[in-house]
Chains A and B, each alone.
Chain A
């Protein structure tokens, strides 16, 4: 059983290490930042900062063809950028794992985040990506582990959706 840390981002990192993720790509999101920092400190994890999330799909697929397991970290707004790219892991049955921090669903301050936040599960389902949603901090490790095993054991695409309620909605102050 996965251990439960003070910060659930450590639990994701522990799963990455356990299943042998050695490449992590991302467009940063505040919710992912502690995890990105952990990966960057790890000499056995290659971290690639992308220019758009869809690049992370192709990158993961190429890495897998060469024998590396990887994960894409992104915010829900990035999911929409990935739609056609998701055809690649789908048609080639390449394992694909993404960890998505949700915006626009709980206490969201920025209305522009809402459309893609609401659309995220539908878009993923439309492209045959299995969704593993997590709402509670103590379930993060086991959920990421389940998603990763689903992806790499069955050669399918899996997305973990980290709920905004769990992450904590970012608050903005004017001025």
Chain B
């Protein structure tokens, strides 16, 4: 099992300048913010299910940047249709990382569908996203970095994580206008 916060921090430790990172609602945003106050990041704190289409729109409008969406199984399950939309509008600069802890940790660790019979990698593959895989151990980090920076997307990586609540690390501002303006200015 992977410790999600450590994983995200390792992934972004030596990030390149052409990377823009978006995070989905909840723990993923706290994970992303734990890597530092970085203008090249934009974290969702609401509008559940909107991070996937947002990342697609960003990838379409910024073809020369690498776009990474880090989100959870709950957020992804709410926008499964977006996997089909992404697959059928191929953008080669988008990587989606699903930190799959099989639970809604923020609300009391209720199990998600992935704790049951649902497999998000298979759904992504069935949606038409060709580059998909699941990692279980931290030894596979290098593979993820290669996917983000070198491989043709769209790609979706399921990262099986330990379900644990972690300290909340807030973005520099909860004000959406401040956050999006700062992010947009990096384009």
A interface vs B, CB < 8 Å? 23, 46, 48-52, 54-68, 70, 84-85, 87-88, 91-94
Contacts of B81 in A (CB 8 A): 50-52, 55
B183 interface residue (CB < 8 Å to A): yes
B135 interface residue (CB < 8 Å to A): no
A52, A67, A70, A88: the one contacting B54 at CB < 8 Å is A88
**Structural contact, A66 and B58, CB atoms closer than 8 A:** yes
**Structural contact, A62 and B85, CB atoms closer than 8 A:** no
Q: How many A-B residue pairs have CB under 8 A?
A: 120
What residue in chain A is nearest B82 (Cβ atoms)?
Answer: A55
A65–B42 alpha-carbon span in the complex (Å): 10
Q: Lowest 7 A-B CB distances belong to which pairs?
A: A62-B57, A66-B61, A51-B81, A58-B53, A92-B176, A63-B57, A62-B54
Contacts of B58 in A (CB 8 A): 62-63, 65-66
The 0/1 profile, CB within 8 Å of A marked 1, for residues 82-109 of chain B is: 1011001100000000000000000000
A168–B130 alpha-carbon span in the complex (Å): 42
B48, B53, B62, B79: the one contacting A56 at CB < 8 Å is B53
A60–B50 alpha-carbon span in the complex (Å): 11
Contacts of A84 in B (CB 8 A): 47-49
A55, A56, A87: the one contacting B46 at CB < 8 Å is A87
B interface vs A, CB < 8 Å? 22, 42, 46-62, 65, 79, 81-82, 84-85, 88-89, 176-177, 179-180, 183-184, 187
**Structural contact, A61 and B187, CB atoms closer than 8 A:** no
**Structural contact, A59 and B54, CB atoms closer than 8 A:** yes
Contacts of B89 in A (CB 8 A): 46, 48-49
**Structural contact, A57 and B50, CB atoms closer than 8 A:** yes
Contacts of B179 in A (CB 8 A): 92
4 further contact pairs, Cβ within 8 A, besides A51-B81, A66-B57, A87-B46: A58-B49, A65-B57, A66-B59, A66-B62
**Structural contact, A66 and B187, CB atoms closer than 8 A:** yes
Per DSSP, chain A at the interface is helix
Among B50, B62, B184, max chain A CB count under 10 A is at B50
Q: List 24 A-B contacts (CB under 8 A).
A: A23-B61, A48-B85, A49-B88, A49-B89, A50-B53, A51-B84, A55-B81, A57-B53, A58-B52, A58-B56, A59-B54, A59-B60, A60-B57, A62-B54, A62-B55, A62-B56, A62-B61, A63-B60, A65-B183, A84-B47, A84-B48, A87-B46, A91-B47, A94-B180
Known contacts: A55-B82, A57-B53. The answer to whether A63 contacts B47 by CB under 8 A is no
Contacts of A66 in B (CB 8 A): 57-62, 65, 184, 187
B91 → chain A closest CB, angstroms: 10
B46, B53, B84, B180: the one contacting A59 at CB < 8 Å is B53
**Structural contact, A91 and B61, CB atoms closer than 8 A:** no
Known contacts: A55-B79, A62-B55. The answer to whether A85 contacts B60 by CB under 8 A is no
Contacts of A93 in B (CB 8 A): 176-177, 180
A64–B55 alpha-carbon span in the complex (Å): 11
Contacts of B42 in A (CB 8 A): 65
**Structural contact, B54 and A61, CB atoms closer than 8 A:** yes
A46–B176 alpha-carbon span in the complex (Å): 27
Contacts of A54 in B (CB 8 A): 49-50, 53
